Amino acid sequence: MLEDLFQKVKARMGSEEPQQGFSKMSVPSDLLFKCPRCQQVTFMDTFRENQMVCPNCQYHGRMTVAERLKITVDNGTFHEYDRDMRSKNPIGFDGYERKLEALSKSTGLTEAVVTGEAEIMGEKCVIGIMDSHFMMASMGSVVGEKITRAFERATAQRLPIILFTASGGARMQEGMVSLLQMAKTSGAAARHSDSGLLYITVLTDPTTGGVTASFASLGDIIIAEPKALIGFAGRRVIEDTIRQRLPDTFQSAEFLEEHGFADMICDRSHMRETLSTLLRMHREDSETEETV
Amino acid sequence: MSNLTAWERISLVHQKDRPTVRDYIPMIFDSFIEMHGDRSFGDDPAIVGGIAYFKGRPVTVIGQVKGRNLEENKASNFAMPHPEGYRKALRLMKQAEKFHRPVICFIDTPGAFCGIGAEERGQGEAIARNLFELMRLQTNVISIVLGEGGSGGALALGVCDELAMLENAVYSIISPRGFASILWKDASREQEAANRSRITAEDLIELGVAEKMIPEAPGGAHLGPEETAQNISAYLEDALQRFRDVPVETLLEGRYHKFRKIGEFSEGPESGL
């Protein structure tokens, strides 16, 4: 019944065009937000005021890069790297350029990840944020290259790196070139690690496929957001194999923590503080404990 | 050189009598001693690993195990490894590093297994860890695609100093059927997907993914397993010789850049350091 109501509202409001620089999901084009986890419907304003967390079940919703930056880094400290990097069409897939162009217009992004330097409560770091509104943040040449460069810059400048991951996996349109980005980014992560530097991954909804099977799983510290979908294989693929429905908790952040693949689950409201504390604990110039 | 299309090669490598890693090991190596288990959860029969002599020199051999009939395939899970398989492989790779012997990986898998246990035991983490550790493994690594290289599940044995492919082998990010159904919403266009997604040895050498192609017996490896094994052996002899005296730092630098260079993009005037 609620769903019917939601559909009607959505149908009425659905034609509104997204504003520039923001993605469809986060623009208040709908009055109501229906939680994909608990199915509860709330006012979109309430959901947004709550940092896009479902007030009923604490599902942490998907954010745009702009929204994530706003709640994570110190105001005015973010300097973006490689802003104009755009993908080519390595295997000559029909319509790929057109699709990228259209997405670029509708999301205001040039690709599925934004990288740069910033401060979090005064702690300097390299940061990368993936945005699932851009082709489900699949990893192609640009995502791979930007993440790799972010690691390389962090290594050269002896800075810690924090990556907020979200991804549907590999960018099929780039074929094997996409697959090898997994090795490339993992190699850059290894060099950063060998230099004794800190790498934190924050797994957000959804982190899957080739990103899970590369840099997302390689953090010294792995943090997950509540109720985020995190896994390797697609849920439907597994369901088809075993011929039964999987429980809703399968491949959730909580599932990951229970099985020992995440250090902690952290609420969005505590993320900034948690990250800055961890950064401070790993600061190279401070041997002794500092008072906060 | 094979003049078959990608689609024809896929059906060729799927032939039941195509030689598997278990057929090749005794034809290429001497005194193979198999090692089991990841020292943590169990032993994955989808991956075989051990130590052997190659032309008198100890080497570590690791490969994905296809079966040649249903029974064998059931036993080795159709060459689809679980996390413990990748962890066994990694354990043997680290062992090879310790004892300064080269690692030779044979890739032949439809992909990493997708299932409940695989997720519970961290399939993503297991593959990621192999990529990370292989990138810094201080010994020569050579990988050879025997039949099919399926996505991340293949790449976990494919981070190497040099990648060779058998003439008819394919290496892809997803099956042609998956490619067609995801990108065209039409699984029936799988043949077209195979031929257009650039997955053959020639394609991948051109893209910089693979370095060498190893000829098979005329008509395919199944028509001449011994001859194909001899070709693999000749390739390995040459490759191991070329990497033998390369200092570890140079080796790792070369491996990093083999992958670092992959990617096609453009940059505007504002980018750069």
pLDDT in tens, B233-265: 999 999 999 999 999 999 999 999 999 999 999
Predicted model pTM: 0.92
Interface test with A, best of B93, B259, B267 (most A CBs within 10 A): B259
B60 phi/psi in degrees, rounded to 5: -100, 130
Q: Is residue A124 a part of any domain in this protein?
A: yes
Tell me what the mean pLDDT of segment A33-37 comes to. Answer: 93
* Helices (H), ranges, B136-247: 151-155, 176-183, 190-196, 201-206, 225-244
Any bridge partners for residue A33, and if so which? A42
pLDDT confidence bin for A236, thresholds 50/70/90? confident
> What is the fold of B6-257?
2-enoyl-CoA Hydratase; Chain A, domain 1 (3.90.226)
Q: Is residue A252 a part of any domain in this protein?
A: yes
CB contact under 8 A, B112 and A144: no
Q: How many CB atoms lie within 10 A of CB B191?
A: 17
Assign A78 to helix, strand or coil: coil
Within the 200-219 window of chain A, which residues sit less than 8 Å (CB to CB) from chain B?
Answer: 209-210, 212-218
Q: Which among A4, A87, A77, A86 is positioned nearest to A39, based on CA atoms?
A: A4
A252 with A271, same domain: the answer is yes
The domain segmentation of chain B, as residue ranges, is: 6-257
The whole-angstrom distance between A258's CA and the closest CA on chain B is 9
Q: Which of A123-137, A184-198, A244-258 has the lowest mean pLDDT?
A: A244-258
pLDDT of residue B271: 42
CB contact under 8 A, B152 and A210: yes
CA distances to B5, B20, B77, B147, B262 from B12, rounded to whole Å, are 10, 13, 20, 9, 29
For residue B270, list chain A residues with Cβ-Cβ distance below 8 A.
83-84
A27 with A91, same domain: the answer is no
Given a cut of 50, is residue A20 above it in pLDDT? no
Tell me what the mean pLDDT of segment A145-165 comes to. Answer: 98
The whole-angstrom distance between A81's CA and the closest CA on chain B is 7
Q: Is residue A291 a part of any domain in this protein?
A: no
E-assigned strand segments in chain B: 30-34, 47-54, 57-64, 103-109, 141-150, 162-166, 170-172, 212-214, 265-266
For residue B189, list chain A residues with Cβ-Cβ distance below 8 A.
none
Minimum Cα–Cα distance from A154: chain B residue:
B273
Within the 64-83 window of chain A, which residues sit less than 8 Å (CB to CB) from chain B?
Answer: 81-83
pLDDT of residue A289: 57
Two tokens, residue B140: 């020569």
Give residue B268's identity as a one-letter amino acid code. Answer: G
Q: Is residue A95 a part of any domain in this protein?
A: yes
Dist CA A118 CA A108 (whole Å): 21
Per cent of chain A over pLDDT 70 is 88
pLDDT of residue B191: 94
Full pLDDT tens readout for chain B, 273 residues: 678 999 999 999 999 999 999 999 999 999 999 999 999 999 999 999 999 999 999 999 999 999 989 999 999 999 999 999 999 999 999 999 999 999 999 999 999 999 999 999 999 999 999 999 999 999 999 999 999 999 999 999 999 999 999 999 999 999 999 999 888 999 899 999 999 999 999 999 999 999 999 999 999 999 999 999 999 999 999 999 999 999 999 999 999 999 999 999 999 754 444
Dist CA B144 CA A2 (whole Å): 56
Q: How many domains does chain A have?
A: 2
A121 with A184, same domain: the answer is yes
Minimum-distance CB partner of A231 among B121, B124, B131: B124
Tell me what the mean pLDDT of segment A210-225 comes to. Answer: 98
Strand (E) or helix (H) holding A113: strand A113-120
Q: Is residue A146 a part of any domain in this protein?
A: yes
Q: Is the ipTM of this complex over 0.90?
A: yes
pLDDT of residue A80: 97
A24 with A72, same domain: the answer is no
Dist CA A34 CA A38 (whole Å): 8
CB contact under 8 A, B263 and A184: yes
Given a cut of 60, is residue A1 above it in pLDDT? no
Angle CA A222–A273–A254, to nearest 5: 35
A95 with A171, same domain: the answer is yes
* Helices (H), ranges, chain A: 2-13, 44-49, 65-72, 96-107, 141-156, 175-194, 209-212, 235-242, 253-258, 268-281
pLDDT of residue A119: 98
A98 with A189, same domain: the answer is yes
A168 near B CB under 8 A: no
A119 with A207, same domain: the answer is yes
Q: Looking up tokens 């011994």, which residue turns up?
A: B226
Minimum Cα–Cα distance from B260: chain A residue:
A184
Minimum Cα–Cα distance from B116: chain A residue:
A238
Given a cut of 50, is residue A123 above it in pLDDT? yes
* Domain termination site, one of A41, A59, A77: A59
The whole-angstrom distance between B108's CA and the closest CA on chain A is 16
Given a cut of 80, is residue A18 above it in pLDDT? no
Q: Is residue A160 a part of any domain in this protein?
A: yes
CB contact under 8 A, A177 and B262: yes
Any bridge partners for residue B265, and if so which? A87
A66 with A176, same domain: the answer is yes
Two tokens, residue B218: 């005329």
pLDDT of residue B272: 41
A82 with A147, same domain: the answer is yes
A23 with A156, same domain: the answer is no
Q: Give residue A73's domain range.
A: 62-281
A230 phi/psi in degrees, rounded to 5: -140, 125
pLDDT of residue A13: 37
Two tokens, residue B53: 């002599």
B198 phi/psi in degrees, rounded to 5: 60, 70
Q: Is residue A292 a part of any domain in this protein?
A: no
Dist CA B167 CA B145 (whole Å): 9
